[in-house]
Structure 1
Amino acid sequence: MDVPPEKPTGNASRGLRADGEATRARILEAAGELFAAGGYADTTSKAIAARAGVDQASINYHFGSRSGLYQALLADAHRRLVSLADLRQLAESRLAPAQKLRTLIEQLVQRATGSTQGWHLKVLVREILAPSPHCQTLFQEEIFPKVFFVRRLISEITAIPEDDPAITRCLLSVMAPCLMLLLGTSGIPGPVQELLRMPGEALSEHLHRYALAGLTAIAQEHAG
């Protein structure tokens, strides 16, 4: 008579989950380092598995495929840059709109000039400079939902309706310098390298003052 296998106890079940989470995190870390160095096209599941110390079946188990793993990496990297929860909290805070903008710019500058960037920012920058087939997914699932809150913030500052085309133009004008700083971390030569060597506080102050002056001018133009 066959004896059915024992079901894991509560502690055993928690232990299995913890082991699974640790394996998933190890795969993410290994893949992040390899994707940051070689890009999506030149990084194989075999290389990732070897670096993580797992078999390739573990990648498929946790992420479905190499594509699923890369999409998870992009999402994780963008959340570390700025998370949707942090943006929502900032948008709903009682800070003055101008101070909300200052806080957002400070965070982005800190991410670009910080000394402990790891692979996360490198993966994002590589994806922007040489988009893979997964770039659209990154925009749809991570970037566009966050843009909603930045548009709302700019609308609060300018008193221009969120759906007005002027808000889109303002969004690009405010965020473009921050994007250039992030791209500069890839080593692109030019003035941006000088900016990255500046104190983060001074750089944040300048970008905030410049953005706020532009938004004020557009608001006045729109009202007139």
Structure 2
Amino acid sequence: MMTKSLNRRRTDGDATRERLLEAGGELFAADGYATTTAKAVAARAEVSLSLIHYYFGSREGLYQAVLIEAHRRLVDLDDLRRIAESSLSATAKLRAMIGGLVRQATRRQLGWHIHVLAKEVFAPSGHFPVLFQAEVIAKLSIVKQILSDITAIPADDPALVRCVVSVVAPCTMLLLGARGAPGPLDQTRRMPRKVVITHLHSFAIAGLGAIASEHGRRDQVPSR
């Protein structure tokens, strides 16, 4: 009986924490970190204000948890590991990674996670270092290894860091364009997904091939 009661409390607690994350994510996405109050989040989640402090310690702790959850929804670490550990070639792994980001950016209805991350990019709150430590470092390591496998450039080489930026930046811009910015970004995200994925992948492979050749690592990076 005690075990069942304890499990029930844990289940209820998980559900309450999830409601607060969802409510916080929706409000931070709509109004931004600076203007969203803990009281407003609690009201939207229909829970006591004290529960924000119980589960997250503070409004700041809640926002950090929202940022981490937003990044997980954008790029799931387990999914990224499955790609990296698959039998696909390194270039096919890169295409799968790009494909995941393009699918996020071209959804008809965007989740709050994209808007929260975009707001953090355009109006930094000072909480990004927490997100970087919790989520970005591990994912970045996997991406660097995939690019290293493609180019034969060591993962700790500064040139490979620049390659990461060059490969990820177009996908990031496409995600930012998903927020409704007019012009080429919006036009691109309205194109067929396969076309966009193929273009970004081909562009990335060509650039990686040029850098690999420049470093004398490989005469040519395979296109597939």
* TM-score of the superposed pair, with normalisation by structure 1: 0.93
Structure 1 residue 18: deviation in Å?
1.2
The correspondence for 2:85, drawn from 55, 73, 92, is 92
Q: Give the match for residue 152 of structure 1.
A: 145
The separation in 1 between residues aligned to 2:174 and 2:113, in whole angstroms, is: 15
The separation in 2 between residues aligned to 1:26 and 1:185, in whole angstroms, is: 25
Q: Give the match for residue 110 of structure 2.
A: 117
Trace 1:157-196 onto structure 2 (pairs within 5 A): 157-196=150-189
Structural RMSD (CA): 1.3
Q: Give the match for residue 50 of structure 1.
A: 43
Structure 2: runs of 5+ lacking an equivalent: 218-224
Q: How many residues align?
A: 217
Structure 1 residue 117: deviation in Å?
2.2
Structure 1 residue 89: deviation in Å?
2.2
The correspondence for 1:215, drawn from 198, 203, 208, is 208
Q: Give the match for residue 198 of structure 2.
A: 205
Report whether the alignment pairs 1:131 with 2:124: yes
Matching residue's letter, 2:170: P
The separation in 2 between residues aligned to 1:91 and 1:66, in whole angstroms, is: 36
Structure 1 residue 12: deviation in Å?
1.6
Structure 1 residue 143: deviation in Å?
1.2
The separation in 1 between residues aligned to 2:17 and 2:156, in whole angstroms, is: 40
- Encode CA deviations 1:116-146: one digit per residue, 9 max, x unaligned: 3221111111111111020121122211221
Report whether the alignment pairs 1:68 with 2:61: yes
Structure 1 residue 190: deviation in Å?
2.2
**Pair member with larger Rg:** 1
Q: Percent identity?
A: 55
The separation in 2 between residues aligned to 1:50 and 1:56, in whole angstroms, is: 8
- Encode CA deviations 1:170-214: one digit per residue, 9 max, x unaligned: 111111100100111222232101001111111001100111111
The separation in 1 between residues aligned to 2:111 and 2:162, in whole angstroms, is: 32
Structure 1 residue 84: deviation in Å?
1.9
